[in-house]
Chains A and B, each alone.
Chain A
Amino acid sequence: MSDQTEPTPDPLDTLAAEYALGVIEGADFEAARRRYDSDPAFRVAVHDWQEHISGLALELPAREPPAAVLNAIISSMDAVTPGPVAFQPSLWTSLTLWRGLTAAGVMASVALGAALMLNAPVRAPAPIAGSPATGPSQGQPFSAALVGKEGAVLFYAALDPAREGLLVIPAADARGVTGTPHLWLSRGDDDPRSLGVADARAARYLPLTKELSALIDGDAILVVTVEKSVASPSPDAMGPVLAKGTLSPMERAHQLMP
Chain B
Amino acid sequence: MTERDLLTQQMVLAGAGDRRAFRAVYDSTRARIYALLCRMLRDEAMAGDVMQEVYLSVWQRRATFNPDFGLSPMGWLTAIARNRAIDRLRAGARAPGEIDIGGLDVIADEVSALERLERAEQQARLTHCIQHLASHQQSAIRAAFFDGATYVELAHRAKVPIGTMKSWIRRGLLQLKDCMSS
Q: Which residues of A are in contact with B by a Cβ distance under 8 Å?
A: 1, 6-7, 9, 14, 17-18, 20-25, 43-44, 47-66, 68-70, 72-73, 76-77, 80-86, 88, 90-91, 97-101, 103-104, 107-108, 110-112, 114-115, 117-118, 126, 129-130, 141, 250-253, 255-256
Contact = CB atoms under 8 A, between A and B. Distances in A.
Nearest to B180: A52
Nearest to B10: A104
A3 to B, nearest CB: 9
A210 to B, nearest CB: 25
A97 B1 contact: no
A256 B170 CA distance: 44
Which residue, B16, B141, B173, has most C-beta atoms of chain A within 10 A?
B16
Given A7-B174, A54-B74, A82-B60, A24 B101 contact: no
Contact of A21 (B66, B90, B145): B145
B164 interface: no
B77 to A, nearest CB: 8
A90 B22 CA distance: 20
A91 B66 contact: yes
B150 A111 contact: no
A90 B68 contact: yes
Interface in B162-178: 169-171, 173-178
Contact of A63 (B34, B78, B141): B34
B1 A100 contact: yes
A68 B34 contact: no
B171 A85 contact: no
Contacts of A60: 32, 35-36, 39, 101-102, 104
A9 B154 contact: no
Contacts of A110: 20
A250 B70 CA distance: 29
Contacts of A49: 173, 177
B60 A80 contact: yes
Nearest to B9: A104
Which residue, B38, B109, B127, B150, has most C-beta atoms of chain A within 10 A?
B150
B161 interface: no
Contact of A56 (B16, B60, B71, B146): B146
Nearest to B71: A47
Nearest to A108: B13
